[in-house]
Structure 1
């Protein structure tokens, strides 16, 4: 997917760069949107420093695959807090039609070029409160592989594929029972380091 600048999340504010109406069609078609430069440079530098200086622990996801998770979480909670701003939540609700949303949680994960780290097809609905997912590229080094794919479960039709090329790029995608996604192995370079989180449905 081609990423366009639609919002910019900074340390103290979030600036909206595109109206929901101009983006909603893309989400409807692909069930996902790619957002270029979604994190302002100052905040991005801080987050990447936290990832560079932090530690990561092995995380085996039963039946799905393996990756490493930031432990203790330092960059992850910082991003989650910034993504909770009301103007961004409202914008995302209008773009996706997936509101109302009330919370976001996430963490930083890392995949290495080791023929082991990957996630097989899954739908993220082991927690039924999840309504949208988001990944944000925090990789210091370029990498090959690590492609994200989203498809229809019933037909196998590919709806979207995305490779995080630039640090700070975000991907927001639908979480629903009729679709599933995967992350292919990193084949060289890297590691692939991303924030991965979920926007939760508001309680009724």
Structure 2
């Protein structure tokens, strides 16, 4: 089992600075790292119980892909709240080397094999996106659904990652020189995740009463 570097708990943030230092080096060299058990079990259990009963709607992202999404308010509100804790965003800044992260915006999605769900190569360069994140919310391990990262020009694949651990997250660099995608699902188990971007040029989260969360198109 991979050691925990940072874990979001109900009342605090658990941080192992030694492990965070190792992740800084890994991110600088590989452009992605895993955050094992980012969510503690009590938060994850609550979210999975909500998602078991949630309503899912088809969402098309044009040329990029298609998936199911849910807009269950308790689920999305809790996830946005914990990801936007200033202390957590500071840790993401430290690991990624990207300073001035002011807001995280994401969506909860589900992909099912044989449902026409897919995700094509894209960069997400838009809307001040700096660092991407995918948090596994799946109740059971799934097959396929790999996070893949490649160089934009050469098309050389840099990573193929199965992020199947409950509450595990991947963070990765957003750059015009890098493309990423999720491979097709296989088998009967769906993939459920909270995915989005840490952003740099929006008003500071929790400090602007007029701040509104809105759906943003994904970009090639």
Give me the TM-score of the superposition, normalised by structure 2: 0.86
Q: Give secondary structure in 2 for the equivalent of 1:104.
A: strand
- Residues 164, 181 of structure 1: alpha-carbon distance in 2 compared, 3 angstrom cutoff: same
Say which SS state the counterpart of residue 37 (structure 1) adopts: coil
Distance (whole Å) between structure 2 residues aligned to residue 23 and residue 141 of structure 1: 26
> Counterpart in 2 of 1:32?
32
More strand by share: 1
Q: CA RMSD in A?
A: 1.8
Q: Structure 2: how far apart are the matches of 1:162 and 1:177?
A: 21
- Summarize deviations over 1:75-122 as a string: whole Å, max 9, x none: 222111101112211111111111110011111000001162110000
Alignment match, 1:135: 134
Moved over 6 A (4+): none
Unaligned runs of 5+ in 1: none
Instruction: Determine the C-alpha separation between the residues in 1 that align with 2:166 and 2:47.
Output: 10
2:105 is paired with a residue of what secondary structure? strand
CA contact (8 A) 1:115 1:187 kept: no
Runs of at least 5 residues in structure 2 that lack an aligned partner in the other structure: 204-220
How many residues are treated as equivalent by the alignment? 202
Whole-Å separation in 2 of the counterparts to 1:42 and 1:152: 38
**Equivalent-residue separation in structure 1 for 2:111 and 2:177 (angstroms):** 27
2:14 corresponds in structure 1 to: 15
What is the DSSP-based 3-state SS (H/G/I as helix, E as strand, rest coil) of the residue aligned with 1:50?
helix
TM-score for the superposition, normalised by structure 1: 0.92
What are the residue-to-residue correspondences of 1:69-148 with 2, within 5 Å? 69-114=69-114, 116-125=116-125, 127-148=126-147
